[in-house]
Amino acid sequence: MPRRYRATGADPPFGDWRAAHGVAMEGYFWRFTDPRAGRVVIALCGVSSGPAGPWAAVALGGHPGGFLREADLPRAGAHEAALGAWAGDGAFVADEHRLHVDLGDGARLDVRLHDIRPWPRRAAFGGLGAAHAIPGLSQYWHPHALGGRAEGRAVLGGETVDLDGAEVYAEKNWGRAGFPDEWWWGQAHGFERPDALVAFAGGDVDLGPLRLQATGLVVALGDDVLRFGNPLLSPVHAAVGEGSWRLRGRSPRWRVEVEAHAPPATAHVLPVPDPAEGRSFPGALEHLAGELRVTLRRRGRGLAFAGSSPLAGLEHGGRERVRAELERRRSA
């Protein structure tokens, strides 16, 4: 029963949301932020079930410089008992301690991960809260590494980047049909307080014939992790568009506001896997270094934290949205 249940995308309380579920798409994402150097490096892998068998959309990107290299790789897989994925006969290999990407022609990443700040072990559910227990959602999301230290190097075109000491963020997303028609996402380290983190993800969610929009928001301050997104207990309102991300969340004890901005013309265009077609498509506009400000207040006690980061990852996704932006860039 547990395996059949997880194959719907759902998880019981206190499960391992990092492990593969056996759905059409298992997505893995890492972000390395070095505030001292003003640098960000990202790596992603979407393992999918396609008509010709398992395959993966893999990408490696960096800021500054606008570097991005991507590839659709055959012979891919994901671990069902722990965090881990692989693709392309060694071109991509990842687990909870190591990440290796080699897309050839000056696109390589080799890092070890240390002192990871995991999702709180006392939490019954992951980034989406009790929604993780609902079978058959079109998309699930869980940020599992809320900080940590990288050790290694990246080669981005003609530049070798030292990532020793960079802050680590990692998440997983998965679903029965790939990505929704529209979604938004963000993540930031690089605040004045070095142990602060913000992460959010939202968009269209299908459950059978029903369609709604939902957003999950996480704020971490050291070992304190606050999650918003329960529509009754901690709702989040999101307004996203034209290079702007505005989120408001509240719970019985907390109020949070997130304001973020980045011009659409500066975004990387990231690949998004389409499991049914067996290939990726240009599906997400992602800024590697946007501006984000967060304000957190505790009810009855006033301001708990306020900070800003110039190195926020900010994404607005959807096939038609990206198509329109690419057309605008061609005609500019």
The pLDDT of residue 209? 75
How does residue 8 score in pLDDT terms, banded at 50, 70 and 90? Answer: very high
Question: What are the tokens at 245?
Answer: 């991300």
| Nearest-angstrom CA–CA distance, 18 and 215 | 19
pLDDT at position 178? 82
* Spatial separation of the C-alpha atoms in residues 315 and 286, rounded to whole Å: 4
CA 329/CA 332 separation, integer angstroms: 5
Instruction: Judge contact between 48 and 56, C-beta under 8 A.
Output: yes
> In terms of Cα–Cα distance, which of 33, 252, 276, 38 is closest to 175?
276
pLDDT of 210 reads: 75
pLDDT at residue 74 in the model: 94
Would you state the pLDDT for residue 1?
A: 53
What is the band of 154 on the pLDDT scale with cuts at 50, 70, 90?
Answer: very high
Q: Which residues contact 327 (CB under 8 A, 6 or more apart)?
A: none
- Closest by alpha carbon to 17, among 123, 167, 98, 136? 123
Give the model confidence (pLDDT) of 193-236 as tens digits. 999 999 999 998 877 777 789 999 999 999 999 999 999 999 99
CA-to-CA distance for 60 and 283, rounded, in angstroms?
A: 15
Alpha helices of the chain — where are they, by DSSP H? Answer: 2-6, 319-331
Compute the average pLDDT of residues 113-124: 96
The pLDDT assigned to 237 comes to: 97
Q: Would you say residue 147 has pLDDT above 70?
A: yes
* Residue range 13-44, pLDDT digits in tens: 999 999 999 999 999 999 999 999 999 999 99
DSSP string, 81-97: SSSEEEETTTTEEEESS
Residue 93 has pLDDT above 80, yes or no: yes
Query: What's residue 70's pLDDT?
Result: 98
Q: What percent of the chain has pLDDT over 90?
A: 90
The stretch 262-283 carries a mean pLDDT of 95
Phi, psi dihedral angles at 138 (to 5 degrees)? -70, -25
**In whole numbers, what is the pLDDT of the chain averaged over residues?**
95
What pLDDT sits at residue 177?
A: 82
pLDDT one-digit tens code per residue, 41-72: 999 999 999 888 999 999 999 999 999 999 99
Residue 118 banded pLDDT, cuts 50, 70, 90: very high
Residues 239 and 325: their CA atoms lie apart, in Å, by 19
Left, alpha or beta for 78 (phi > 0: left; psi -120 to 50: alpha)? beta
Q: For the whole prediction, is pTM greater than 0.75?
A: yes
